[in-house]
Amino acid sequence: MSLTNTVQGQNAIVTIDVAREEAKVSPTLHGAFFEEISHAGDGGLYAELIQNRGFEDANVPEGDTIKDGWLIPPRTPSFTIQPKVSDWRMRWNVKSQWPGWSLSTSGNNRLRLSLTDTIPLSNATPHSLCVEVKSTDRNGRDELINKGYWGINVVRGDTFFLKFYIRTDRIFKGPLKVSLQKNDGQILATHTFNNVSNKRWHEYKCSLIAHGTDNKAQFAFSFGSRGTLWLDFVSLFPAKTFKYRQNGLRPDLAKLIADLHPAFIRWPGGCFAEGINIQSAFNWKNSIGPLIDRRETYSPWGYWCTNGFGYYEFLQFCEDIGASPLLVVNVGVSDEFQSGTFYPRDSVPGLIQNTLEAIQYAIGPVTSKWGKLRAIAGHPNPFSLKYIEIGNEQYGPDYAWRYNQFYKAIKAKYPQIKLIASMGMGTINRYTLDSIHKLDIADEHLYKPIFWAMRNNHYYDKYSRKDWKIYVGEYACNGGVGSGNLYAALNDAVFNMDMERNSGLVTMSSYAPLLANVNRPDWGVNLINFDDYRSFGRISYYVIKMFSQNKPDVNLLTHIKINKPAKLPDLYKGSIGISTWDTYASFKDIKVIKMGRVVYSSENDNKKEEWEERGGHWYDNNGVIQQSALGAWPIAYLKDKSFDNYTLTLKARKDSGTNAFMIPFAIKNGNNYLRVNIGAWINSVTTVEMVSDGSDAIISNPVKLPITIENGKWYDVKLRVDKDSISCYLNGNLLISYKEPKKFFSIAGYDSTSGDIIVKMVNVYDHVLPCKILLNGINKISSNALFTTLAASSPLDENSLENPKEFVPQKSYIKVDSNPFFILLSPFSINVLRIHSLKNN
């Protein structure tokens, strides 16, 4: 790295007061949160390779009905708006009665499938697939195929364990052939079961050893005689699972989680713990015991979950990776963003009993009812269940009432369990707090757009300290960062700094969502992405790993100073435009004024060719530019123009529609610009927003509109654009001001085990930042410091399935031969410096 990439005169000074110890850093600060979303479990972490192994995937969740292609929950009151009823419904996309399975036949309808629930293998999962073989296939191939979860990863030499159940009529005798094969039918592994004839359900098993490789293979049955057979619970596992456990986990994904060394794992959700309606919500009891007897759970993310990665498997995984289990229990309320239906208060004692039993299953003696089942499952010793979260994202006095009952009953029996209260979708709220009798830990959820962390990097400094702690159960920078890029990671790093500095208050955190199968993502930005054979941690994953590996015991008082560059760059240089959102609007008298001189005027210069249009329907009506299309952000902007340090004035009129008008500026092109959105959120607020590579995010706090913008009325808009700040006025009154957020952040702490002073630094500048580090209150430091840096050439960069480790932390040793000393920080970089302090030598 060279100084030529720096901005002259600009540098950072970090002064660390080594003698001034501040808040302790919680040993449990970094955890993980697993939820069945985006096929995180089934088709992901859970190593089962057959999709819809139990033929239950066409079931309608309990309590719901299907009408005109929609899933409709019971129309009973919704918890937060009671006595009102939510009108939420969800698209029902199940097209087949046996999703995941298909026939490959050479014609003549020799195979016929039907779904049945008569003579079930298990009452908990009653459906089986009936296969009628009308005639056998001499020339062609008639097969029943399962393509797994968007492919089955078969690698030459690998062993797979197959298990399934069959019953037959008197005619079907077999043989029954099973195979792993390529898409074109080329066999990779096969086995034949002869004499398959059983009136009653019978289990069959075999190992398949692959003699070829295909990352997108499929599984097939082919039938060697006429007759009818019923199939159920067709399960295929790779022999190689995480720690070679039976019914185990996919090793690459489990390892990615294990490598984070999470202090705890929160499970099973999230919305998954709540359900789309209360009748179909998750119950831990359906997720233990023999797999064929586990009732499935309908994930609120729109698919069935086998519960194969159940409570026992979760506890075992936690133990395997040294994490404390955190179980989220349902308080009798379903997801309020879905139906929000709930059980009445008198069902709470039953729900509490269910929770006490879950605790007993995890930590009770083998002589207890539920502890005995744990022992039968293979774990006589108690697991280390440490936390229970009472509800997910519930809030308000009615929730607090339920929480209080749970709290009292759990504490009476298990005082050692730490209890967590939910706080709704966002931050701590008085509304809930005031009705809570005793609080240990409150769970905040913070999904935030780009630059929020930079604008709010002292967010937790401002919280008043009480006798309870905060768990940030779900957080992520997920707006304006595509599907996650270096910008997201920079934001996540700055947010993590805030949590670490305030770890006396924030004792736990977990990023969300953790896992997503790229073939069916339910959420835009996820920490670990994968398909059936590849996986990668996003740059944010490595941020969390860096922070967790470099966690001090205690914070040290740290001051930051940024010396301004000799010449401030014009950050908002670019063209100007006009835009709308779901609104028809008109604009006129557009002027750009620089140093008192009009450098553009629509009155003088307005020509159609001057404007570049993107979307919408724009036309010029005698000097009034009108936009008459609904939808997101049609924009017209001045082509080939660039302004800096200017004032833009115009008149704008809302003609009809939902919002009001938007004023784009700093336009580089139609996909990259900033804008002031006047009348966002149904004509109620003003925001500053960023459009980056075509995706948008709010980058300011929203400011309430002082007046209602009326249809058909002209308003004077003025936008003052300076080097690194803007102000926008409506009819002469200031609406919103925005200043470029800070771009350098640093915290420091001391780790007593290693004796290291750990300095974390985030450089959001697009250039190299020289940084002077001054350690006060210490005489001796080792001359070699370990420097870890995570950077990319563009803030839009990200790891990928093809290049999973393109952007990972790089380590080196740097010479520290004086105090203060200098280091150079790469543009857009996250950095950790460990300076051995020789404090005690």
Judged by CB, which is closer to ligand AHR: 480, or 513? 513
CA 319, distance to chain mean position in Å, is 24
Minimum distance from residue 467 beta carbon to ligand AHR (Å): 26
Judged by CB, which is closer to ligand AHR: 204, or 523? 523
Name the residue with tokens 């089942």.
373
Structure tokens at 742: 């800070």
Minimum distance from residue 63 beta carbon to ligand AHR (Å): 20
**Helix (H) or strand (E) run with residue 381 in it:** none
Minimum distance from residue 268 beta carbon to ligand AHR (Å): 10
| Separation of alpha carbons 303 and 38, rounded Å | 9
| Separation of alpha carbons 667 and 793, rounded Å | 22
- Residue 399, helix vs strand vs coil: helix
| Separation of alpha carbons 577 and 602, rounded Å | 11
| Separation of alpha carbons 725 and 740, rounded Å | 6
Judged by CB, which is closer to ligand AHR: 271, or 352? 271
Judged by CB, which is closer to ligand AHR: 528, or 769? 528
Smallest CA-to-CA distance from 752 within 551, 549, 508, 557 is with 551
Is residue 674 within 8 A of residue 719, CB to CB? The reply is no
| Separation of alpha carbons 528 and 515, rounded Å | 5
Judged by CB, which is closer to ligand AHR: 475, or 665? 475
For residues 346-367, one letter each, b for 16 or more C-beta atoms within 10 angstroms of the residue's C-beta and e for the rest, the string is eebeebbeebbbbbbbbbbeee
- Residue 680, helix vs strand vs coil: helix
Minimum distance from residue 326 beta carbon to ligand AHR (Å): 13
The neighbouring-strand residues paired with 760 are: 747, 832
Q: Which long-range contacts (CB under 8 A, 24 or more apart) does 504-507 make?
A: 504/23, 504/24, 504/26, 504/465, 505/23, 505/460, 505/463, 505/465, 505/469, 505/470, 506/26, 506/29, 506/460, 506/469, 506/470, 506/471, 506/472, 507/26, 507/28, 507/29, 507/441, 507/469, 507/470, 507/471
- Per rule CB under 6 A, count of chain residues that contact ligand AHR: 13
Minimum distance from residue 338 beta carbon to ligand AHR (Å): 11
The neighbouring-strand residues paired with 600 are: 592
Stretch that binds ligand AHR, among 269-277, 312-320, 340-348, 701-709 (CB under 6 A): 269-277
Judged by CB, which is closer to ligand AHR: 56, or 474? 474
Judged by CB, which is closer to ligand AHR: 393, or 498? 393
Stretch that binds ligand AHR, among 57-65, 105-113, 267-275, 304-312 (CB under 6 A): 267-275
Task: Reply yes or no: is the peptide bond before residue 770 cis, omega within 30 of 0.
Answer: no
Within residues 514-533, the interface with ligand AHR by CB under 6 A covers 523
Give the per-residue contact string, 460-499, with ligand AHR (x = CB under 6 A; - = no).
Answer: --------------x-------------------------
Stretch that binds ligand AHR, among 159-167, 223-231, 263-271, 589-597 (CB under 6 A): 263-271
The binder of ligand AHR chosen from 270, 449, 484, 809 (CB under 6 A) = 270
Instruction: Report if residue 265 touches ligand AHR, rule: CB under 6 A.
Output: no
Q: How many CA atoms lie within 13 A of 700 on its CB side?
A: 25
Instruction: Report if residue 35 touches ligand AHR, rule: CB under 6 A.
Output: yes
| Separation of alpha carbons 773 and 751, rounded Å | 18
Stretch that binds ligand AHR, among 49-57, 143-151, 265-273, 456-464 (CB under 6 A): 265-273
Smallest CA-to-CA distance from 178 within 130, 227, 231, 106 is with 231
Task: For residue 801, give every residue at least 6 positions away whose Cβ sits within 8 Å of its Cβ, in sequence order, or none.
Answer: 518, 529, 530, 531, 534, 535, 536
Judged by CB, which is closer to ligand AHR: 42, or 474? 474
| Separation of alpha carbons 235 and 292, rounded Å | 10
Minimum distance from residue 325 beta carbon to ligand AHR (Å): 18
Minimum distance from residue 187 beta carbon to ligand AHR (Å): 41
Stretch that binds ligand AHR, among 111-119, 264-272, 291-299, 673-681 (CB under 6 A): 264-272
Judged by CB, which is closer to ligand AHR: 270, or 552? 270
Alpha helices in 734-774 (DSSP H): none
Minimum distance from residue 14 beta carbon to ligand AHR (Å): 34
Within residues 273-332, the interface with ligand AHR by CB under 6 A covers none
Minimum distance from residue 835 beta carbon to ligand AHR (Å): 37
Instruction: Report if residue 512 touches ligand AHR, rule: CB under 6 A.
Output: yes
Number of residue whose CB is nearest ligand AHR = 270
Within residues 783-802, the interface with ligand AHR by CB under 6 A covers none
Instruction: Report if residue 442 touches ligand AHR, rule: CB under 6 A.
Output: no
The binder of ligand AHR chosen from 63, 269, 484, 679 (CB under 6 A) = 269
* Counts of helices then strands in the chain (DSSP H, E): 12, 52
Minimum distance from residue 389 beta carbon to ligand AHR (Å): 11
The binder of ligand AHR chosen from 179, 392, 503, 677 (CB under 6 A) = 392
Instruction: Report if residue 271 touches ligand AHR, rule: CB under 6 A.
Output: yes
Stretch that binds ligand AHR, among 83-91, 266-274, 397-405, 569-577 (CB under 6 A): 266-274
| Separation of alpha carbons 257 and 541, rounded Å | 10
Judged by CB, which is closer to ligand AHR: 271, or 544? 271
**Helix (H) or strand (E) run with residue 298 in it:** strand 297-299
Judged by CB, which is closer to ligand AHR: 445, or 538? 445
Judged by CB, which is closer to ligand AHR: 78, or 586? 78
| Separation of alpha carbons 433 and 442, rounded Å | 9
Is residue 702 within 8 A of residue 680, CB to CB? The reply is yes
Judged by CB, which is closer to ligand AHR: 445, or 501? 445
Minimum distance from residue 304 beta carbon to ligand AHR (Å): 17
Burial category of 341 from C-beta neighbours within 10 Å (exposed 0-12, middle 13-18, buried 19 and up): buried
Minimum distance from residue 683 beta carbon to ligand AHR (Å): 27
- Residue 382, helix vs strand vs coil: coil
Within residues 179-238, the interface with ligand AHR by CB under 6 A covers none
Within residues 422-441, the interface with ligand AHR by CB under 6 A covers 425
Judged by CB, which is closer to ligand AHR: 527, or 769? 527
Alpha helices in 381-485 (DSSP H): 397-413, 430-433, 452-455
Judged by CB, which is closer to ligand AHR: 221, or 495? 495
Residue 287 CB coordination number (10 Å): 22
Minimum distance from residue 270 beta carbon to ligand AHR (Å): 3
Minimum distance from residue 299 beta carbon to ligand AHR (Å): 10
Judged by CB, which is closer to ligand AHR: 282, or 600? 282
| Separation of alpha carbons 829 and 809, rounded Å | 10
Minimum distance from residue 115 beta carbon to ligand AHR (Å): 30
Q: Following DSSP, what letter does each residue of 573-629 receive, concatenated?
A: -BB-EEE-SSEEEEEEEEEEEETTEEEEEHHHH--GGGEEEESS-EEEETTEEEE--
Minimum distance from residue 393 beta carbon to ligand AHR (Å): 5
Give the per-residue contact string, 240-259, with ligand AHR (x = CB under 6 A; - = no).
Answer: --------------------
Judged by CB, which is closer to ligand AHR: 162, or 256? 256
Maximum Cα interatomic distance, the chain, rounded to a whole number of Å: 96
Burial category of 633 from C-beta neighbours within 10 Å (exposed 0-12, middle 13-18, buried 19 and up): buried
Positions in the binding site for ligand AHR (CB under 6 A): 35, 37, 269-271, 392-393, 425, 445, 474, 512-513, 523
